[in-house]
A and B are shown apart, each in its own frame.
Chain A
Amino acid sequence: MSEITEQQEPKLYAHVDPIKDYVGRWFILLILLVVTVLAAIPDLGALAVPIAMGIAVVKALLVIWVFMGFRHATKLTQVWAAIALIFLFTMFVLFLGDYWSGKDRLVGPEGWEPTHSTER
């Protein structure tokens, strides 16, 4: 900390966006919130999950892009943000691939014990 020498001097190494950028994105987020609630009213069958998650992904991207400053971030920062997604999807693919690979389903109808544990 040091005493202010020039009052109200912006910190030049920061990207300062206009307030309307933030408020505008917030307003879009609110509209998407209403859309995702409305989409839960009719029976969409198998489409319900993809639609709800699709809207959530759009909302998440807006938050990351604007509020978390991703658009101004350096390449190295963007790579790390991408790594979060890569790790997450690797986990999804490995787990779900294992659980949903046909006859060896680990979740039986009675509970969450492995159904084939005694066969080994």
Chain B
Amino acid sequence: MSTPNEELTMHAPAHGHEEHHPHLAHQFDDMEQQTESYTVGMWIFLVTEVMFFGGLFTAYIIYRNAYLTEFTAAHHQLDWKLGGLNTLILLTSSLTMALAVRSSMLNRWRAQIGFLTLTWLGALGFMVIKYFEYSSKIEHHLVPGPNFAMEGMPNRGAELFFSLYFAMTGLHGFHVLVGMVVIGILIVRTYINRKKYMDYMPIEMTGLYWHFVDLVWIFLYPMLYLVGQIDLGGH
């Protein structure tokens, strides 16, 4: 991630920029332009991610309307408290990620590692809760396929709900895992380069990705766990 910048910076004096910012790659005029290129590139990637999840959201909307009774019954099998706890964890990890980016802008490497570690632990907590949720679904034969069994369902609508549940939360969970890998790399990199003046862009880009993961969950939680009422006594 850092090598192109390093190499290009070494060539910088050759094309006459006297007061070159140490992180400015030579194809850019200034840091503002370079920063914008980073950010726009990341947002274009996020557009593709929005469409990726958007297809699943569209399928969910269509089938929820077609099988409203079955989807409502199936949704009561989910534990809204665990889902809510996971929402709390992700929202908080978004905060710690934003604070990690802020620390990086200010070159405070200890705070940066601290906040990144908190974010990473949040992601781990999310995955642990998800593991317990998935285990319980497997135990109760709610995984779509030949072993699927939910009583009193006249057709396969409930199975379709769980197909979408596993597809959407699975894809989202995969994004959380990818986030954990990237954040883990950033923690190590920050420590290795702690004595150097680091560009904050890699951590800013990871932040954008991480907030996007949070955004998806902000919509998944009410759609899957809440809409169709919750049982306060249940679970």
A residues adjacent to B (C-beta < 8 A):
1-5, 8-11, 13-14, 16-17, 19, 22-23, 26, 29-30, 33, 36-37, 39-43, 48-49, 52-53, 55-56, 59-60, 63-64, 66-69, 73-74, 76-77, 80-81, 83-85, 87-88, 91-92, 95-96, 99-100, 107, 109-112
Query: Contact between A77 and B39 (Cβ–Cβ < 8 Å)?
Result: yes
Q: Which of A3, A30, A42, A69 contacts B91 (CB 8 A)?
A: A30
9 new A-B contacts, CB < 8 A, other than A63-B94, A68-B208, are A9-B107, A11-B107, A19-B102, A26-B94, A36-B226, A37-B230, A56-B221, A87-B51, A96-B62
Which residues of B lie under 8 Å from residue A1 when comparing CB positions? 2, 5-6, 22, 193, 196-198
In the assembled complex, B11 has its CB within 8 A of some CB on chain A? no
Query: Contact between A67 and B227 (Cβ–Cβ < 8 Å)?
Result: no
Query: Contact between A84 and B47 (Cβ–Cβ < 8 Å)?
Result: yes
Closest to B84 in A: A37
Which residues of B lie under 8 Å from residue A17 when comparing CB positions? 102
In the assembled complex, B170 has its CB within 8 A of some CB on chain A? no
Among B65-90, those with CB < 8 Å from A are 65-66, 80, 84, 87-88
In the assembled complex, B128 has its CB within 8 A of some CB on chain A? no
Which residues of A lie under 8 Å from residue B88 when comparing CB positions? 30, 33
Interface of B is mostly: helix
Query: How far is the CB of A103 from the nearest CB of chain B, in Å?
Result: 15
Give the bracket for the number of chain B residues in contact with chain A: 35 or more
Q: A56-B218, A112-B63 are in contact. Are A80 and B232 (CB under 8 A)?
A: no
Among B161-200, those with CB < 8 Å from A are 193, 195-200
Interface of A is mostly: helix
Q: A4-B197, A112-B63 are in contact. Are A68 and B95 (CB under 8 A)?
A: no
Query: How far is the CB of A91 from the nearest CB of chain B, in Å?
Result: 6
B residues adjacent to A (C-beta < 8 A):
2, 5-6, 9, 21-22, 31-32, 35-36, 39-40, 43-44, 46-47, 50-51, 54-55, 58, 61-63, 65-66, 80, 84, 87-88, 91-92, 94-95, 97-99, 102, 105-108, 155-156, 160, 193, 195-200, 204, 207-208, 211-212, 214-215, 218-219, 221-223, 226-230, 232
Closest to A75 in B: B36
Query: Contact between B211 and A67 (Cβ–Cβ < 8 Å)?
Result: yes
Which residues of A lie under 8 Å from residue B54 when comparing CB positions? 87-88, 91-92
